[in-house]
Every structure is written in structure tokens, then in C-alpha cells.
Amino acid sequence: MSPIARFVAAGVALAAVATASIASAQDFNAAPNYGTLNLNYGFTPDPQVINLQSGGNLDAQRLSSSCRGFITNAPDVRLNYNAGGGYPLILSVASGADTTLVVNAPDGTWYCDDDGGVNGLNPMVRFNRPMSGRYEIWVGTYGGARLENAQLHISELYSQ
């Protein structure tokens, strides 16, 4: 094999390894940082509130160009949700910091938000017709890999 062909082959192999590591960066099967919640539609109290630290060292934009902020490899919260009753599922964050939200829905679709909540710098993802199943939820920090105090709100009634 010529030196040029070896160089090209090495470059292709390196690109394949780099792409594989980006695609597998979020481990939605990892144990969640702040636990698992099992909820049926009509749950009380509403909202369910989880105190956590937003952020991490991984850039969420690697998942999709619409994702923002820095998150951890493992999800922050796993939600096993039994939908019904015509209720929406509303995931939102309350924090003094600029936070983001990354959600892997039961069908494998990624949803991301930055600043869509009612408080300007906080995110909200609303499923008007939620699926039953497992939701993996990451709360990110916008603008840098740092940890910030935050609350994840899970509701069928309103956004934080």
C-alpha cells in the first residue's frame, strides 16, 4: 500500500472512531444521577419537583443542532410515565442560572429546549399527547461546563 493510501485509510478509520464516540456520548441506559420516578396520569402532587445540579462536561449540541448547554453522560432523571386522561406532560426547570433541557422520549426522539419556559432563561418541553414509556431527562447549563442549583418540575398542569 502506498504511503498516501495508508494515510487516507488511517484518516477514514480515525473519523469512524470519532463519529462512533460522539453518537454514543449520551448513555440513556446508565443509572440516572438523581433517580427514577414512576408516575401515572393524574399524579399528585403536581408538580413533582426534583432538586438537582444542572450541567456537566458534554456539549448537548453534539446530539442535535437544536440542543444547547452542557450535560452529563448519564441522564439526570428517568421518568417511567403511564399516559392517559388527555393530560399533557410538561417538563420544566426552575433555576437562577441559564439552564437547558434535553429529553429522550420513549420512541427514541430527542427533544431540546433553551429558554422556552415562563421565566426567560429556563427551559420547558411540553408533550401535548405524551406517550407512555420511559423518558430520559438531562438538565443542562448554558454557556459552559459548570454545575448550578436547579429544580426539575414534572407536571400535567403547568410549566415552571
The per-residue pLDDT for 7 is 38
Dihedral sign, Cα of residue 43, residue 46, residue 50, residue 55: positive
| Helices vs strands, H then E, count in the chain | 1, 11
Who has greater pLDDT, 151 or 64? Answer: 151
Strands 148-155 and 89-94: antiparallel
Q: How many whole angstroms separate alpha carbon 144 and alpha carbon 34?
A: 21
Q: Where are the domains of the chain?
A: 28-155
Q: How many whole angstroms separate alpha carbon 6 and alpha carbon 114?
A: 44
Residue 10 has pLDDT above 80, yes or no: no
Q: Give 57-70 pLDDT, tens digit per residue.
A: 999 999 988 999 99
Residue 133 has pLDDT above 90, yes or no: yes
Residue 18 has pLDDT above 50, yes or no: no
Chain-wide mean pLDDT for the chain? 86
| Closest among 27, 56, 28 to 134, alpha carbons compared | 28
Q: How far is CA 5 from CA 1, 12, 15, in A?
A: 6, 11, 15
CB 136 within 8 A of CB 34: no
Which grid cell is 75? 441522564
Who has greater pLDDT, 28 or 78? Answer: 78
Q: Percentage of the chain surpassing pLDDT 90?
A: 71
Which CATH number is 28-155's, of 2.60.120.260, 3.10.590.10, 2.40.40.20, 2.60.120.380?
2.60.120.380
Q: What angle do CA 18, 57, 91 make, to 5 degrees?
A: 110
The per-residue pLDDT for 25 is 63
Q: Give 84-128 pLDDT, tens digit per residue.
A: 999 999 999 999 999 999 999 999 999 999 988 877 789 999 999
* Residue 61 C-alpha from the chain's centroid: 11
Residue 44 has pLDDT above 90, yes or no: yes
How are the residues of the chain apportioned to helix, strand and coil, as percentages rounded to the nearest 5? 15, 40, 50
